[in-house]
Amino acid sequence: MGKIAINIATGSIQKEEIIVGIDLGTTNSLIAIVRGDTHEPIALKEIDGLTLVPSIVHFDEYGNTTVGNPAKELLIAQPERTIYSVKRLMGKSYKDVSTDAGFFAYHIIDDNTDALVKIQVGQKFYSPIELSSYILKELKKRAEHILKTTISKAVITVPAYFNDAQRQATRDAGRLAGLDVLRIINEPTAASLAYGLGAKKGEEKTIAVYDLGGGTFDISVLTINDGIFEVLSTNGDTYLGGDDMDNLVARYWQEDPGEGNSDLGFGSSIDKTLMQQLRVTAEKAKIHLSNNDVFESEINGTPVRITRQEFNDLIQPLVDRTITACANALRDAGIKKEQIDAVVMVGGSTRVPLVKESVSKFFGRDLYDKLNPDEVVALGAAVQADILAGNNTEMLLLDVTPLSLGIETMGGLMDVLMPRNSKIPNKAGRQYTTQKDGQGSMRISVFQGERDLVADNRKLAEFELTGIPGMPAGLPKVEVSFLIDADGILKVSATELRSGVAQSIDVKPQYGLTDEEVEKMLLDSLTHAKDDIKIRALVEATTEAQQMLDTTENFLSKYRDQLTQEEVETTHTRMQILREAMTAKDKDRIQHETEILNDVSRPYAERVMEGALKDAMKGKKIM
């Protein structure tokens, strides 16, 4: 069987251009590139020496923004003006987040529970997309300052479980920040890439990615086969992370600052500021204990102390919960521990020795933990960016379709078989049938794009399925199937299932779109969404009306002698009126007139069919 070969990769990009990789995290965000000289991915460091930018945006009373560490310092003093964890709100409605509303110290608008959430700061309202764009703008600014060149293209990572709305929101945030988002990739995929896992041609691996960040825990099981990543399962806890460890230590000190100090306790009713001081010091203690056995400091003159063993005892239940999630993820993926080829450690909290030990023990193997766990996702995004820039031809990576793929159906409508952002490789199929009695062929036209009318999309290929044996309309079953292989090549075939007649076609590859074209097509689909819905409704009504007219015409020519003169006349009048409505392109009138024509013809059609049935029965001998 032949095939249509279409390279759906998003087109070529100039070599000289730097494409950055961005980890837009719940707690921290950062930007990375692959160095042109050494081909190593590196996280970009500003003069402050830090690579991580806390994902926090502060608004002053004039609406000016500060992002990162300066904003983090205002978290306690101005909670209603300092926005954190905005990633949790991406692509969500108030209904989606209402159960977690207590988590946010800032104001989330709840007037329209189905619409996407808005955050109120002073008199102004901000969407999570806008808020994220401030973080991205800050990252872009940093990169431009460090690299001394403008940055306009990026690869951004998202959790593997992000749905289409959340991915789209992330993409939009990038666009708002002035970034062309070439690809949204999964965080666990990026982490694996940073370690160079499985991106070589022909390599096959099963990987577990354990990601314990500031406020979230994700475990993902992936396979990589010939450069194609597939997420087999995800599990975790959206409210479990390093912050919880800090809280445990803070509460521990609240009751007892340390051995022998219990009479100096902070008491149960401490104010917000003191609690926050406790938390800040607790985080310091946790980080210190990752490399030392004891932590000692003081808070407001009260000495505080904690040992690694005490800390381990506190967090043991948290760690146990992550291990249970790992077991569940393996079960869902249908994978045994022994089948895992690599366990990749991601997120700042995996620096905690007890975490490493527990994960290593559970999987029974060494961990991939040489890279900075809080940088590894951004590093992987940079590797992906480098591949897209055409600098790395060794690795092959095509994980999603940039635009929807479908075929033309009656009335020039786009029928999507494989939606945008479908995983590659992929298979999709749908059955169609004929419109006319005895129809011997069917034209299959393949399109790419988001608009409802194929005329507004991009035609990729066309072929004719011929040799369909004569059958009444609606009887043939034509299965059209799309198959995208690991190389991103689309093969289209059509088979009439009753007769087995099959057809396919070869089209030369290199049908790539530039990113600008993809963006334009997506934007068009947004701006024209309303028109498209209207046009689609009109086309559908017209198609239905035409079928009604054809059927009626057919019936009249066969059974006219069995109808009264009046029935024939009324039918002709109604058919004429319906045709006029179709010429006027008035959807409501067309639908209304189609119904009337149906009502007019139904009584005599039933009568005639009943008569025909009786005649048939009469002729039969019933034993």
Which residues bind to ligand ADP, rule: CB under 6 A? 25-28, 52, 213-216, 241-243, 283, 286-287, 290, 347-349, 351-352, 374
| CA proximity to 457, closest of 415, 414, 491 | 414
Asked if 68 is part of the footprint of Mg ion (rule: CB under 5 A), the reply reads no
Alpha carbon distance 159, 156 (integer Å): 10
Min CB(243)–ligand ADP separation in Å = 6
Catalytic status, residue 100: no
Angle between helices 308-333 and 353-363 (to 10 degrees): 40
Catalytic status, residue 286: no
Please say which residue, 42 or 475, places its beta carbon nearer to Mg ion: 42
Min CB(347)–Mg ion separation in Å = 5
Please say which residue, 213 or 406, places its beta carbon nearer to Mg ion: 213
φ and ψ at residue 233, rounded to 5 degrees: -160, 155
If contact means CB under 5 to 8 A according to the sort of partner, which of Mg ion, ligand ADP, none does residue 286 touch? ligand ADP
Please say which residue, 216 or 542, places its beta carbon nearer to ligand ADP: 216
Alpha carbon distance 460, 37 (integer Å): 39
- Looking at residue 186, its amino acid is N
If contact means CB under 5 to 8 A according to the sort of partner, which of Mg ion, ligand ADP, none does residue 216 touch? ligand ADP
Please say which residue, 245 or 444, places its beta carbon nearer to ligand ADP: 245
Min CB(292)–ligand ADP separation in Å = 11
Q: Are 100 and 94 in contact (CB under 8 A)?
A: no
Q: By rule CB under 5 A, what string of x and - marks binding of each residue 10-49 to Mg ion?
A: ---------------x------------------------
Min CB(480)–ligand ADP separation in Å = 42
DSSP state of 453: B
Min CB(198)–Mg ion separation in Å = 21
In the structure encoding, which two tokens stand for residue 59, read together? 């608004």
Active-site entry in 130, 138, 172, 211: 211
Kindly provide the residue ranges of all beta strands, DSSP E only, lying in 458-545, ordered along the sequence: 458-465, 478-484, 490-496, 502-504
Q: Which residues contact residue 64 at a Cβ distance below 8 angstroms, ignoring those fewer than 6 apart?
A: none
Q: Which residues contact residue 534 at a Cβ distance below 8 angstroms, ignoring those fewer than 6 apart?
A: 587
If contact means CB under 5 to 8 A according to the sort of partner, which of Mg ion, ligand ADP, none does residue 58 touch? none
If contact means CB under 5 to 8 A according to the sort of partner, which of Mg ion, ligand ADP, none does residue 488 touch? none
Asked if 128 is part of the footprint of Mg ion (rule: CB under 5 A), the reply reads no
If contact means CB under 5 to 8 A according to the sort of partner, which of Mg ion, ligand ADP, none does residue 351 touch? ligand ADP
Catalytic status, residue 293: no
Q: Which of residues 496-555 bind Mg ion (CB under 5 A)?
A: none
Q: Are 21 and 341 in contact (CB under 8 A)?
A: no
Q: How many residues bind Mg ion (CB under 5 A)?
A: 2
In the structure encoding, which two tokens stand for residue 134, read together? 């401030």
Kindly provide the residue ranges of all beta strands, DSSP E only, lying in 466-576, ordered along the sequence: 478-484, 490-496, 502-504
If contact means CB under 5 to 8 A according to the sort of partner, which of Mg ion, ligand ADP, none does residue 287 touch? ligand ADP
Min CB(284)–ligand ADP separation in Å = 9
Q: Are 377 and 151 in contact (CB under 8 A)?
A: no
Contacting residue, 68, 128, 213, 227, with Mg ion by CB under 5 A:
213
Which of these segments, 79-87, 205-213, 498-506, 598-606, binds Mg ion (CB under 5 A)?
A: 205-213
Catalytic status, residue 87: yes
Alpha carbon distance 311, 302 (integer Å): 19
Query: Long-range contacts: 391-395, Cβ < 8 Å, 24+?
Result: 391/15, 391/34, 391/36, 391/39, 392/34, 392/39, 394/199, 394/200, 394/201, 395/193, 395/199, 395/200, 395/227
Please say which residue, 299 or 483, places its beta carbon nearer to ligand ADP: 299
Active-site entry in 87, 153, 286, 587: 87
Q: Which residues contact residue 588 at a Cβ distance below 8 angstroms, ignoring those fewer than 6 apart?
A: none
Backbone region of residue 104 per phi and psi (left: phi > 0; alpha: psi in -120 to 50; beta: other values): beta
Please say which residue, 29 or 66, places its beta carbon nearer to Mg ion: 29
Preceding amide of 476 cis, omega within 30: no
Active-site entry in 138, 172, 187, 246: 187
Asked if 54 is part of the footprint of Mg ion (rule: CB under 5 A), the reply reads no
If contact means CB under 5 to 8 A according to the sort of partner, which of ligand ADP, Mg ion, none does residue 322 touch? none
Please say which residue, 11 or 241, places its beta carbon nearer to ligand ADP: 241
Min CB(377)–Mg ion separation in Å = 6
- Cβ atoms within 10 A of the Cβ of 418, count? 23
If contact means CB under 5 to 8 A according to the sort of partner, which of Mg ion, ligand ADP, none does residue 323 touch? none
Min CB(43)–Mg ion separation in Å = 13
Q: Which residues are catalytic?
A: 23, 87, 187, 211
Residues that bind Mg ion (CB under 5 A): 25, 213
